[in-house]
Amino acid sequence: MKKILAIAAALCGLTLSSGAFAEEGGKTLVKGEMSVQDGAASLFVEGFGMSQKGRTNFKKGFFSMETTLKAPTFCILTTTDPVVKGFVVYLKPGDDISIAVKDKQVVISGKGSKLNQFLFDINHKYDYMDPRFSPKEVYTQRVHAINSSSDEEVKSNKAVLIGYTQGLYLDKVFGKYMESKVSGEVDEINKHQFDHFDLRLVPEIVSYYNWFKTINEIMFAKMETGKLKVSSSNTWIADFAKRIEDQKLREAYVVQLLDFAFLEEDVFAIKELAKETMPLLKDPANVAKVNATLAKAAQNTRFNNALPGSDFSAHTFQKPDGTAAKISDYKGKYIFIDIWSTWCHPCVAEMPFLSKIEHEMAGKDVVFISLNGDKLEDYWQKFMKKRGLKGEQLWMPGGLGAAPFFNQIGKTGIPRFLVLDREGKMLNAKCCLRPSNPVLKVYLEELLSK
Model pLDDT, residue 26: 81
pLDDT classification of 189: cutoffs 50, 70, 90? confident
Helix (H), strand (E) at residue 137: helix 135-148
The sign of the CA dihedral 312, 314, 319, 322 is negative
What is the radius of gyration, based on Cα positions, of the chain? Answer: 25
Query: Exposed, middle or buried by CB within 10 Å (0-12, 13-18, 19+), for 278?
Result: middle
C-alpha to C-alpha distances, 355 to 182, 203, 405, 420, nearest whole angstrom: 17, 37, 24, 19
Predicted local confidence at residue 21, as pLDDT: 32
Determine which helix (DSSP H) or strand (DSSP E) holds 167, and give its type and residue range.
helix 158-183
At residue 233, the pLDDT reads 98
CA dihedral sign of residues 201, 202, 205, 211 = positive
Q: Give residue 22's pLDDT band: very low, low, confident or very high (50, 70, 90).
A: very low
% of the chain residues with pLDDT over 70: 93
Residue 190 confidence (pLDDT) = 72
What is the pLDDT, as a whole number, of residue 187?
Answer: 67
Cβ atoms of 233 and 443 within 8 Å: the answer is: yes
pLDDT band at 193, cuts 50/70/90? confident
User: Does residue 19 register a pLDDT over 50?
Assistant: no
Bridging pattern class, strands 366-372 and 334-340: parallel
- Name the DSSP letter for residue 412: -
Q: Which residue type, as a one-letter code, is found at position 47?
A: G
Confidence of residue 236 (pLDDT cuts 50, 70, 90): very high
Q: Is the peptide bond before 72 cis (omega within 30 degrees of 0)?
A: no
Tell me what pLDDT residue 105 has: 94
Average pLDDT score, the chain: 92
Q: Which amino acid belongs to residue 34?
A: M
DSSP state of 296: H
- Among the ranges given (11-25, 222-236, 309-323, 433-447), the one the predictor scored with the smallest mean pLDDT: 11-25
Can you tell me the distance from the alpha carbon of 192 to that of 197, in angstroms, rounded to the nearest whole number? 14
Tens digit of pLDDT for each residue in 400-449?
999 999 999 999 999 999 999 999 999 999 999 999 999 999 999 999 99
Cβ proximity of 172 and 135 under 8 Å: yes
CA distance 191 to 233: 23
Predicted local confidence at residue 186, as pLDDT? 65
Q: How far apart, in Å, are the Cα atoms of 208 and each of 2, 68, 200, 215?
A: 18, 20, 16, 12
Q: Which pLDDT tens digit goes with each residue over 113-146?
A: 999 999 999 999 999 999 999 999 999 999 999 9
In eight-state DSSP terms, residue 189 is -
Residues 6+ apart with CB under 8 A from 204: 159, 160, 162, 163, 164, 166
Residue 30 · residue 44 · CB < 8 Å:
no
Q: Which of 24-28, 226-230, 308-312, 336-340 has the lowest mean pLDDT?
A: 24-28
Distance CA 42, CA 76 (A): 8
CB-CB neighbours of 260 under 10 Å: 16
Neighbour-count burial for 71-99, b at 16+ CB within 10 Å, e otherwise: ebbbbbbbbbbeebebbbbbbeeebbbbb
> Tens of pLDDT along 350-399?
999 999 999 999 999 999 999 999 999 999 999 999 999 999 999 999 99
User: How far is the CA of 318 from the CAs of 68, 162, 164, 224, 292, in angstroms?
Assistant: 56, 54, 50, 36, 43
- Our CA angle for 139, 160, 155, nearest 5°, is 90
What distance lies between CA 362 and its chain's CA centroid?
30
